Amino acid sequence: MAMGPITLQDIRSVAMTTTYIRGGTVVSPTGSQPLDVLVDGETIAALVAPELAPFGDPDQTFDRVLDASGTYVIPGGVDAHTHMEMPFGGTVASDTFESGTRAAAHGGTTTIIDFAIQRQGERVQDTLAAWHAKAQGNCAIDYGFHQILGGVDSDALKAMDELVAEGVTSFKLFMAYPGVYYSDDGQILRAMQQCAGNGALTMMHAENGIAIDQLVAQHIERGETSPYYHGVSRPWELEEEATHRAIMLARVTGAPLYVVHVSAKQAMEQIATARGAGANVFAETCPQYLYLSLEEQLGAAGFEGAKWVCSTPLRSREERHQDELWRYIRTGDVATVSTDHCPFCFKGQKEMGLGDFSKIPNGMAGVEHRVDLMYQGVVNGKLSLQRWVDVCATTPARMFGLYPRKGIISPGADADIVIYDPNVHTSIGFDKTHHSNLDHSTWEGFEIDGGVRAVMSRGTVIVDRGQYLGRAGHGTYLKRGLSQYLI
């Protein structure tokens, strides 16, 4: 970890607002160390060993001093998978860029990468412009975009190169949702070839949607219409099969592959095997697959399970997918933990699937709670403090071309900093910690042995002990570089 030898003169010569974060333990993927952090304007100027500080009383020297004694000082979270205002199943995800990024800020996430969406017949560039218009001026934190391609044709392929030059360096394709976002294997192959040429990362929703649609229709015909059957109709075999197929297509084309929202341990085995053979294949999982299950959430009484309908689906606790996903986080085969934040209100939105689970809009909330939920993994002995920071901030930043500006506390990086207090307790719930535009909490009743004390975004304190001090429009668009995380 770098330590900048600084003098008072250095600080004065920069002459921006200085903030000194004193007394905390700075955590990075490679270690943790008692270090003070000097922020100058929007960026980190230096890490200072407290006993070596070459100036007098920080209170007299700096514009602002934040006391971080007894806390972890970590890079702001990077959530590489969110869907604010996403159109899905005849409705639109309930968090706007404004409400969703405010919720993210409360939870210690200072960067999101959201998805612009192109469908068959639409010009890719137009759809990206539409997503820029939704986000610009509305975000509390910095944001970038991936591009979903739902209609791969020759124009879309050409557009991919243009987008890479504009900082959209990753493209999501769907092997699921036929007739909506689905691409066939030929389209996937073509898009991967384009990525192999322009250096972009292919992101894959790996489920065999053609087979799933048959199973869905059969369940509905048999009168098995409750949310539980959403999970049953999307068996792990069809996630494993699609994951394997995606890996093989990537291998044929030479494109790197990032498999999103992996929920099945068998899909992870495919990814780990490919990685063991040296392939540029990466996995993302989400907190819902680490904590929630087919039996408890999707199988909840009545229509309640609709709150947790998402794809890939929650898996059976009995089949022990969760333990295996935690293990793959420790081995590094799971590279990142994102949220797939895509909330829909129970009233009026999830209810669209009353009597037919296939009409329930897919998605749930998470952007506010990811850093906490993963910290609870540290408390529970599932991952180390360093790996917590790695999967929540550093690796997503590297994977998506934002490092070292984001994802690390280091001189020159943006001052996106979270002061995380391991000595407090956070009870998640609708009436307690809830800032999403959503009529329920996905994570109701979850208890965390820690909590976010303060959040800084590019040098501005935007959350302080639960109080929101940020503003819509503070967040700026991040033009991303190419992935820096190839094996």
Inter-axis angle of helices 265-276 and 236-253, to 10 degrees?
A: 20
Picked from Zn ion, ligand URP, none, the partner binding residue 274 (CB below 5 to 8 A depending on kind) is none
State in angstroms the smallest separation of the CB of 186 from ligand URP. 21
Query: What distance, in Å, lies between the first and last C-alpha atoms of the chain?
Result: 23
Q: Which stretch binds Zn ion (CB under 5 A): 204-212, 222-230, 413-421, 434-442?
A: 204-212
CA dist 176 and 312 (Å) reads 9
Q: Which stretch binds Zn ion (CB under 5 A): 193-201, 290-298, 338-346, 408-416?
A: 338-346
Residue 205 lies near Zn ion (rule: CB under 5 A): yes
Residue 114 lies near Zn ion (rule: CB under 5 A): no
Picked from Zn ion, ligand URP, none, the partner binding residue 147 (CB below 5 to 8 A depending on kind) is none
User: Which of 108, 231, 363, 401 is in the footprint of ligand URP by CB under 6 A?
Assistant: 363
Q: Which of residues 247-276 bind ligand URP (CB under 6 A)?
A: 261
User: Which of 310, 428, 455, 456 is in the footprint of ligand URP by CB under 6 A?
Assistant: 310
Q: Which of residues 256-285 bind Zn ion (CB under 5 A)?
A: none
Site mask for Zn ion (CB under 5 A), range 283-322, x = bound? ----------------------------------------
CA dist 415 and 375 (Å) reads 21
Residue 95 lies near ligand URP (rule: CB under 6 A): no
Helix (H, G, I), strand (E, B) or coil at 434: coil
Residue 311 lies near ligand URP (rule: CB under 6 A): yes
Beta strands of 201-280 (E only): which ranges?
201-205, 257-259
Q: Which of 98, 27, 111, 19 is nearest to 65 (CA)?
A: 19
User: Which of 340, 368, 372, 421 is in the footprint of ligand URP by CB under 6 A?
Assistant: 340
State in angstroms the smallest separation of the CB of 260 from ligand URP. 6
By the 10 Å C-beta count (0-12 exposed, 13-18 middle, 19+ buried), 360 is classed as: buried
CA dist 2 and 8 (Å) reads 19
Site mask for ligand URP (CB under 6 A), range 426-455, x = bound? ------------------------------
What type of residue is 402?
A: L
Long-range contacts of 293-301, Cβ-Cβ distance < 8 Å, separation of 24 or more: 293/317, 293/322, 294/228, 294/231, 294/232, 298/227, 298/228, 298/230, 298/231, 299/228, 300/227
Q: Which is nearer to ligand URP, 96 or 198 (CB)?
A: 96
Site mask for Zn ion (CB under 5 A), range 158-197, x = bound? ----------------------------------------
Contact 78, 393 (CB under 8 A): yes
| Tokens linked to 355 | 């009597």
Q: Which residues 6+ apart lie within 8 Å of 12 measured at CB?
A: none
State in angstroms the smallest separation of the CB of 86 from ligand URP. 6
Q: Which of 112, 263, 252, 97 is nearest to 176 (CA)?
A: 263
Q: Which of 79, 86, 118, 117 is nearest to 101 (CA)?
A: 79
User: What is the pairing mode between strands 31-34 and 25-28?
Assistant: antiparallel
User: Which of 270, 362, 395, 483 is in the footprint of ligand URP by CB under 6 A?
Assistant: 362
Q: Which of residues 187-226 bind ligand URP (CB under 6 A)?
A: 205
Residue 342 lies near ligand URP (rule: CB under 6 A): yes
CA dist 288 and 365 (Å) reads 9
State in angstroms the smallest separation of the CB of 450 from Zn ion. 27
Q: Which is nearer to ligand URP, 138 or 362 (CB)?
A: 362
Q: Which is nearer to Zn ion, 203 or 371 (CB)?
A: 203
Q: Which of residues 414-453 bind Zn ion (CB under 5 A)?
A: none
Rounding to the nearest 10 degrees, give the CA dihedral for residues 125, 128, 130, 135.
-150
Residue nearest to Zn ion (CB): 205
Binding residues for ligand URP, rule: CB under 6 A, are 83, 205, 261, 310-311, 340, 342, 362-363
Binding residues for Zn ion, rule: CB under 5 A, are 205, 340
